[in-house]
Structure 1
């Protein structure tokens, strides 16, 4: 094969490659129908760390960051907060205060083993009625919990000298506040009068 025929075959291969890309309909430069995102249609890889971080933020917001609005308090009934913090909520608060997730395998790893959680209610009270924007007259119900987490703290360090550190009597105290609102007054009558 001579040099011109090699050059011709290279050009022919390039033209066939570009032609096959343009006929698939998936390449951003050739799309003529519908919306055209140009270079933004090419997928960008996202690290698992950022994906898990976003999923954890959504989980936290969906379950624990919003205050529910409950019906009015009835006279003569015990006014007690009904829901202590869940184990998941306590462990997420502990992870936010002292992160364990992450680390580098075989270099530095940190684990919590044999976790036991003790929850104590330290306060349960209701604020006087006031008007909240977009809600109306309501009372805020506060419940404060002291959560003591007992666990075995294990740290495995792999460099420069491999060793393991164990603290079998580790403990942390996390304070969790549960606040929610109770409507005040004749809520059903107010809704009927608006209709």
Structure 2
């Protein structure tokens, strides 16, 4: 991920998904999103506690194969961050032959489709930059529906009845176990200043 993107983003989402199909395609994944609360002139950032979510997709068309993908999404607007706190459905299309074994820029075709919520947009207000590492082979031409929704059980277990917007707003303390991740993000951001 480019350091400048880390410094400019409003939040980061980490997603792990698997997709396979033979005509009918099914995908399932999960992840978490964090929001940047503030950043000093040395690119040291303070991040919110994570909000957990699930992603599922059903597609109909010509598809054969399987892939697993781990992605980091740089969310460039507040709206893109908070959409993970609510139920969200979108229709899209997949088109492509994806053979992956290593790092890629962008979400590979067939992971979430080409919905405007997962691809880089010309409209910077809602831009999302995706960086993925994928493994597998998936030939896919399909129309699909993607559903993103909060993981209610996980979030309730961690935060009780606290509203998810408050979690992303920094009103709920984060976990010490995430300190190495936050440090790595800040280190990446500092590279843009050198």
Greater RCO (CA < 8 Å, at least 6 residues apart): 2
Q: Given the two structures, how large is their TM-score scaled by the length of structure 2?
A: 0.21
Query: Higher strand fraction: Structure 1 or Structure 2?
Result: 2
Query: Higher helix fraction: Structure 1 or Structure 2?
Result: 1
